[in-house]
Structure 1
């Protein structure tokens, strides 16, 4: 539905004032802050039209009005002016996102940074990528017990204990490790498993069995490593008045954090779109709360989208601040994880 310039200006002024102080905005206040030369009576008529169209509502406790999720949507899509002025300071605060740390540490740092800068909850879906390895090593612990060490290209290390039917000698373990590293380093373990089926027939059967078991265990280890989604700053939402005063909303929100399924589905859905995505109120279907919004963006590894990150906060959030925080964090995380 198209709004004329006067209605757009008044809606923008109302949303910005409500985001700033959380109080219903009256006609007299709008006449002062909108910059329009309109009488309070004219403004009341425009507000009545906006309310009839579903963009604002009137709380029963006040004559002022507040934006609805539909009003926020119009504001975000057509009226918002994003603040890019503090990008340099944001980047300087995000030095923790560097490629010298293990991947899981970088992911955790990103979630903490999103939370710290937005003052809400930061979430990062861990990368969904093929389990590529750089090196494999076998260490004999005792008879028929072998420690499998898998090193990923980004430096992450995963360990798995292999219980074997054969007591392999140190020389055999070195031979098996050398064979896998020489022929398959840098490939996805799923691809290695397929190629092993046809390439190991000429090797000793004992080593063939060991290497197949190692590749399967390595694939499982890398897929199981870390949480699917890292969350930081959930308790920040307890400081938001409209949330902390509603126990039903709080309970629903923390159920979402605890179970994570809906959150993962939302982040996964966001990964199919490019750029910053904004879900207001119950728009996402997966976070069905009118007083909550989610701002997300995808991030990449070596040019390929592998995950999503974002900020979860109240619908009454300063979108002009949160959007660049999410956007810049996604870019910095992409740089930190690429190799």
Structure 2
């Protein structure tokens, strides 16, 4: 049966459901009627609680793994709890300070993003993930290093200190001196420009006949610039920190699920495409278990929030991957605060 909206549940059913979910999220174990009956404020007998639990199971909100076991929330139940019942707990001053220290500690952007993801992982006990902004680096220095016959390594140094390498194919008949000449030309004439601006200027100067390079060097420069533009446009970069946090005491009893989850995390391109969906909205995205095909086998959840540049444009996504029983009330605000800190970093 499909789950009823929260407004169609009685106050008693809502209270029992909330307590079952909160206790399950804390322990990772099915919750029995005796456990709920011992909690303060409910004033129901174990028999009455079992009847309510049975009704909630028929509504598709709870499930019983064994005949004599307690209940645990289904993915539908977790979604209802997160959307309609969860009482979020703001990050503590210490948690906020730890996140901001990593995000705003200075250094290259990628290092700050990696450090922030590691801090979020440690605080949430999940795997921290961050999708790096698709930013075109601003050229500071550029060079070519010969590798073998027909190939060279293009080395780009950005104004923020980042260094990236790409392998490029060399034009036929290119003399060795052209590698030095091409690198010097880019550094002298195109430094301070983004890749797109550098390509546009190169085309303009070739068209005006002002580029003092032969045709082979022209082609080499065009290839060297194009490989970065194509790569940055097509490949979002994903940083994952703290995957070991996913192997906890309760996960040890389900090693196959953990193995599947770690395999899924290794497929960073798939996760990057999943997170890319969070770019389309202004707020938090929460994917619970099979709501996303990528994690349908391992039964994992993803909490992700976009972060923005100084002009308010979404430039990346930060979040966590964890078991479906993670502490949503604590982790959701923590991810949101981290996104705010990264937005300040990008401003």
TM-score of the pair, normalised by structure 1: 0.83
Q: Which structure 1 residue ranges, 5 or more long, are not aligned?
A: none
Please provide the CA RMSD for this pair: 3.3
My pick for the range that moved more, 320-329 or 57-66, is 57-66
Contact 1:176 1:207 survives alignment (8 Å) = no
Q: How many residues align?
A: 329
Displacement over 6 Å in runs of 4+: 145-148, 160-163, 169-173
Residue 245 of structure 1 pairs with residue 250 of structure 2:
no
Q: Which residue of 1 aligns with 2:38?
A: 32
Q: Which residue of 1 aligns with 2:206?
A: 200
Contact 1:265 1:286 survives alignment (8 Å) = no
Q: Which residue of 1 aligns with 2:16?
A: 10
What is the CA-CA distance between 1:35 and the residue it aligns to?
A: 1.9
Contact 2:286 2:301 survives alignment (8 Å) = yes
Among 256, 271, 289, which residue is 1:263 paired with?
271
Residue 135 of structure 1 pairs with residue 140 of structure 2:
yes
What is the CA-CA distance between 1:322 and the residue it aligns to?
A: 1.0
My pick for the range that moved more, 319-328 or 289-298, is 289-298
Residue 214 of structure 1 pairs with residue 184 of structure 2:
no
SS at match of 1:117: helix
Distance 1:219 1:34, change over 3 A: farther
What is the CA-CA distance between 1:295 and the residue it aligns to?
A: 0.9
In 1: Cα distance, 2:105 partner to 2:219 partner: 32
SS at match of 1:286: helix
Distance 1:168 1:89, change over 3 A: same
Q: Which residue of 1 aligns with 2:306?
A: 298
Contact 2:261 2:298 survives alignment (8 Å) = no
What is the CA-CA distance between 1:139 and the residue it aligns to?
A: 8.5
TM alignment of 1:70-109, pairs within 5 A: 70-84=76-90, 86=92, 88-94=93-99, 95-98=101-104, 100-109=106-115
Q: Which residue of 2 aligns with 1:330?
A: 339
In 2: Cα distance, 1:165 partner to 1:30 partner: 80
In 1: Cα distance, 2:275 partner to 2:318 partner: 7
Q: Which residue of 1 aligns with 2:296?
A: 288
In 2: Cα distance, 1:160 partner to 1:317 partner: 40
Among 178, 187, 191, which residue is 2:188 paired with?
178
SS at match of 2:341: helix
Deviations 1:48-105 (A, max 9, x none): 110001100112163421111111111100110111151x211211212226212221
Deviations 1:21-68 (A, max 9, x none): 223222233233262333333322221110001100112163421111
Contact 2:143 2:156 survives alignment (8 Å) = no
What is the CA-CA distance between 1:110 and the residue it aligns to?
A: 2.1
Deviations 1:227-272 (A, max 9, x none): 822212212212141x322233123212212222332221112222
Distance 1:123 1:204, change over 3 A: closer
Distance 1:102 1:211, change over 3 A: farther
SS at match of 1:127: coil
What is the CA-CA distance between 1:321 and the residue it aligns to?
A: 1.4
Contact 2:182 2:221 survives alignment (8 Å) = no
In 1: Cα distance, 2:210 partner to 2:44 partner: 87
What is the CA-CA distance between 1:173 and the residue it aligns to?
A: 6.5
SS at match of 1:298: strand
In 2: Cα distance, 1:216 partner to 1:98 partner: 36
Among 107, 111, 119, which residue is 1:113 paired with?
119
In 1: Cα distance, 2:199 partner to 2:249 partner: 51
Among 226, 240, 244, which residue is 1:231 paired with?
240
In 2: Cα distance, 1:63 partner to 1:174 partner: 72
In 1: Cα distance, 2:153 partner to 2:27 partner: 58
